Amino acid sequence: PKWLRSSWLFEIVNTSTHHNIHHAKSKGNYGLYFRLWDRLMATEHPDYLEAYDKIQNRRFKSRHSKSSLRKGRLLIVLAMTSLSLSPISAQMNIEGVWKDKKGGGTIRIYEEDGLYFGQLIDAEKQAEREKIKAHGKVVFLKNFQKKSSNEFCCGTIYQLREKRSISATLLLKDEKTLVINGWYGRFTGRRIWKRLGMK
């Protein structure tokens, strides 16, 4: 709302602009609900206030006529239609066989009862191959939920060497590239997997 910018509440709570800058810039603005944490930890992105003020000025200082509102609605409908008909979105499917280039594992991702899982089916190191044979089916990724056409959240990844599960999200960057973001306590990590069988 218009009054938020001049309120003490603005200094504490988060806004969608704050969160969008986090995704656009990839650094800073880590707080999900409270801006206060980023301010205390000095992780707030320096462009936040300028971006917020621009959006507020555009939103509250411009006057929309009925015809411009109709045009805006029409553009939104056209954009949504073109996105739904896009050949790229139709091809974005997380299911398949993926290769962890850094760790050397081969993982088959599959859907079961609306959740996504990943079974470790091969490894480069002989000791890890032996573990796969000894345990039979090693479920490496568990309980990922589809958040959008290319984002999957709220699941876990099992780390064989450390013998622990960590929280993670999956992001299909394109049909051949899967980005895995994991965290354990205060530690975070990222892996890139490549889809096998695609050139």
Beta bridge partners of 146: 152
What's the pLDDT at 199? 45
- Alpha helical stretches, state H, 11-65: 16-25, 35-41, 48-61
| Residues of the chain with confidence (pLDDT) below 50 | 65, 86-90, 199
CA atoms within 13 A on the CB side of 116: 22
What's the pLDDT at 86? 47
Assess contact for 15 and 52: CB atoms under 8 A. Answer: yes
Find the largest Cα–Cα distance for the chain.
69
Angle, helix 16-25 to helix 48-61, in steps of 10 degrees: 130
- Nearest CA to 168 among 100, 112, 113? 100
What's the pLDDT at 25? 78
- Nearest CA to 52 among 112, 1, 87? 1
Beta bridge partners of 100: 193
What six digits make up the tokens of 77?
A: 């409908």
Work out the burial of residue 47: count CB atoms within 10 Å of its CB; fewer than 13 is exposed, 13-18 middle, 19 or more buried.
middle
Rounded CA separation 13/152 (Å):
26
- Determine the straight-line distance between the first and last CA of the chain, rounded to whole angstroms: 49
How far from 54 is each of 23, 32, 61, 95, 112, CA to CA, in Å? Answer: 18, 22, 10, 41, 45
Question: Which pLDDT tens digit goes with each residue over 45-101?
Answer: 888 888 888 888 888 875 554 555 566 666 666 666 655 554 444 457 899 998 887
What's the pLDDT at 62? 58
pTM of the model: 0.51
Backbone CA torsion sign across 33, 37, 42, 43:
negative
